[in-house]
Amino acid sequence: MTKYIFVTGGVTSSLGKGIIAASLAKLLQERSYKVTIQKLDPYINVDPGTLNPYEHGECYVTDDGAETDLDLGHYERFLNSPTSQNNNVTTGRIYDTVIKKEREGAYLGKTVQVVPHITDEIKRRVKLLAENGDWDIVITEIGGTVGDIESLPYLEALRQLKREMGNTNCINIHLTLIPYLSAAKELKTKPTQHSVKELLQAGIQPDILVCRTEHKLSDEIKSKLSLFCNVDQKSVIEAKDADTIYDVPILMLKEKLDIRVLKALKLKSSKKPELTAWKEFLGRHKNPTYEIKIGLIGKYNELPDAYKSIYEAFVHSGASNECRVIVQPIHSERLETDELEKYLSSLDGVLVAPGFGERGIKGKIRAIKYVRENKIPFFGICLGMQCAVVEYARNVMKLKKAASTEVKPNTPEPVISMMEDQKNIKNMGGTMRLGSQKCKLEKGSLAYRAYGRSEINERHRHRYEFNSEYKTAFESAGMRFTGINPKSELVEIIELNDHPFFLGVQFHPELKSTVEKPHPLLLAFVKATLKTKLNEKA
């Protein structure tokens, strides 16, 4: 029988529920349990696909083409196992399902209400994961903070599940903040007491408290929390701020979070988590031999979460190369007029980020010309690859008016154009080319050498593509198309010869990079960048 763990948050947002959930899942996975993680998001968008990255950070795409919360990226990076549409459910999706059912007549004669219809649908979504997969444990993170109006139906669903399944089959971990008042030189427990009171009001007694803190929790503080929050003192877990998110599983192991969870769920496990591969990765990450600086050119740089998976993928591929990758965010709009030298000449490599719309495109194209001509290693992702195509058309093939129809709908040289099956689509949500697609690699290419095989699957999220009518012209001018979708014939990878590393991909490699399996293309990019830097110095 599947056991359920709910992670709720108290006192404030941004405490890192996703990282705590992923770290716990990692420890349980090391104990040989099959674990998956789900995120319930209490907002009304049906999924985060229509959200601006400034609102909610990166939109993470799963193999099955779901546009999801960025926490799913952490789950995959930590667990090295894919998530799916069922791993992220929003209030919008819950209501959408219930309202559609109402229109179909599924509740004929009944008044449709938050309780029981919305709460029933929440419970169904939680159990769906176990029905469709062979999971011993499902960890469900409830987004937002306890006390928010929109969280209430989720808490009621959790209360009911605890009641129906029993307290040893369904537990609640409450992640909370213990603030430090520097004037009083004291850690304060009162906000946590209040937050637990909110949970109790909803009928939920937390089983474990995980306490974010800047300072060590004394026994006195733990005993106070235990007494006032009705939690066993051993289940008051300290979560001190860590240097990196990748320290958190180790910290939680030291704090015995996994043992407390197993005890609460009445599960026995004699296998102690070793985290051997994880510790090796951490060792390499923290003690690099080399260092490179890579410019990340994008337009959402004010919010690093907008490029979360790219930053993390560089941590993984850097560690494997014993190299610290310093990612230098560069706003593409700055590159539109300013001296390029100032921003780009000190970089060892450049990555042009994915994105949508016209803003910042000019700067991206200018930067690509610079790195192509100055032989600075280059990696383009999705829009980054499309910009590389436009740059090549304009500056090498002298098609001065070449553009993407996303930016210039009436361009006479549409080298990037809307995919045929996108043209009649009216709805914005969930309608792009999404999810995992096959791609065939050309033997001997950079990409083929990086992957070490000729067939790959990568995740997509776009509406525009390389316009195949221009293929021969580009090839004659020296561009190589080394990755092609075998079914649709769409171009997925471009490369240039006579350059230390120049590669663009229509898909998103960053989404599949994990601690245990860094992405082959980003590994190759970091390696080539490091090699170029060392050769220049020699």
User: DSSP code of 92?
Assistant: H
> 508 catalytic, yes or no?
yes
Give the contact letters, 306-345, x = binds to ligand GLN (CB under 6 A), - = no.
----------------------------------------
Grouping H, G, I as helix, E, B as strand and the rest as coil, residue 352 is: strand
Interface of this chain with ligand GLN, residues 369 to 398, rule: CB under 6 A: 382-383
> 382 catalytic, yes or no?
yes
Among 389, 346, 385, 352, CA closest to 367: 352
Question: Residue 129 and residue 72: Cα distance in Å, rounded?
Answer: 14
359 touches ligand GLN (CB under 6 A): no
Contact 480, 494 (CB under 8 A): yes
Least distance to ligand GLN from the beta carbon of 504, Å?
Answer: 11
Contact 377, 532 (CB under 8 A): yes
| Active-site choice (117, 285, 460, 508) | 508
Nearer to ligand GLN, 136 or 458 (CB): 458
Nearer to ligand GLN, 58 or 198 (CB): 58
Nearer to ligand GLN, 264 or 432 (CB): 432
Applying CB under 6 A, the span of 100-108, 128-136, 459-467, 489-497 interacting with ligand GLN comes to 459-467
Question: Residue 379 and residue 367: Cα distance in Å, rounded?
Answer: 12
Please enumerate in sequence order all residues whose Cβ is within 8 A of that of 225, keeping only pairs 6 or more positions apart, or say none. Answer: 189, 192, 193, 209, 211, 217, 231, 236
Nearer to ligand GLN, 319 or 387 (CB): 387
| Active-site choice (382, 387, 391, 460) | 382
Interface of this chain with ligand GLN, residues 153 to 212, rule: CB under 6 A: none
Region at 518 (left for phi over 0; alpha for psi -120 to 50; beta for the rest): beta
One of 116, 356, 375, 408 touching ligand GLN (CB under 6 A):
356
Least distance to ligand GLN from the beta carbon of 463, Å?
Answer: 4
Least distance to ligand GLN from the beta carbon of 472, Å?
Answer: 22
Contact 358, 464 (CB under 8 A): no
Interface of this chain with ligand GLN, residues 460 to 499, rule: CB under 6 A: 461-464
Least distance to ligand GLN from the beta carbon of 60, Å?
Answer: 12
Applying CB under 6 A, the span of 33-41, 235-243, 321-329, 352-360 interacting with ligand GLN comes to 352-360
Nearer to ligand GLN, 249 or 354 (CB): 354
Total residues contacting ligand GLN by CB under 6 A comes to: 10
Give the contact letters, 209-228, x = binds to ligand GLN (CB under 6 A), - = no.
--------------------
Least distance to ligand GLN from the beta carbon of 312, Å?
Answer: 17
Please enumerate in sequence order all residues whose Cβ is within 8 A of that of 408, keeping only pairs 6 or more positions apart, or say none. Answer: none
Least distance to ligand GLN from the beta carbon of 406, Å?
Answer: 5
Least distance to ligand GLN from the beta carbon of 36, Å?
Answer: 26
Among 34, 45, 29, 26, CA closest to 88: 45
Task: Tell me the one-letter amino acid at 197.
Answer: K
Q: Where are the beta strands (DSSP E) in 133-187?
A: 137-142, 170-177, 180-181, 186-187
Least distance to ligand GLN from the beta carbon of 82, Å?
Answer: 19
Nearer to ligand GLN, 10 or 298 (CB): 298
Nearer to ligand GLN, 146 or 503 (CB): 503
Nearer to ligand GLN, 73 or 354 (CB): 354
355 touches ligand GLN (CB under 6 A): yes
Question: Residue 455 and residue 482: Cα distance in Å, rounded?
Answer: 11
What are the angstrom distances between the C-alpha of 152 and each of 118, 158, 202, 349? 11, 10, 8, 48
Contact 23, 278 (CB under 8 A): no
Nearer to ligand GLN, 125 or 364 (CB): 364
Least distance to ligand GLN from the beta carbon of 74, Å?
Answer: 20
Question: Residue 73 and residue 306: Cα distance in Å, rounded?
Answer: 12
**Cβ burial 464-476 (10 Å sphere, 16+ → b, else e):** bbbbeebeeebee
| Active-site choice (387, 439, 510, 519) | 510
354 touches ligand GLN (CB under 6 A): yes
Q: Identify the bridge partners of residue 172 per DSSP, sorted by sequence position.
A: 6
Q: Within 10 Å of residue 267's Cβ, how many Cβ atoms?
A: 15
Applying CB under 6 A, the span of 81-89, 269-277, 301-309, 456-464 interacting with ligand GLN comes to 456-464
> 229 catalytic, yes or no?
no
Question: Residue 525 and residue 521: Cα distance in Å, rounded?
Answer: 6
Question: Residue 412 and residue 414: Cα distance in Å, rounded?
Answer: 6
Catalytic positions, please? 382, 508, 510
Residues forming contacts to ligand GLN in the complex (CB under 6 A) are 354-356, 382-383, 406, 461-464
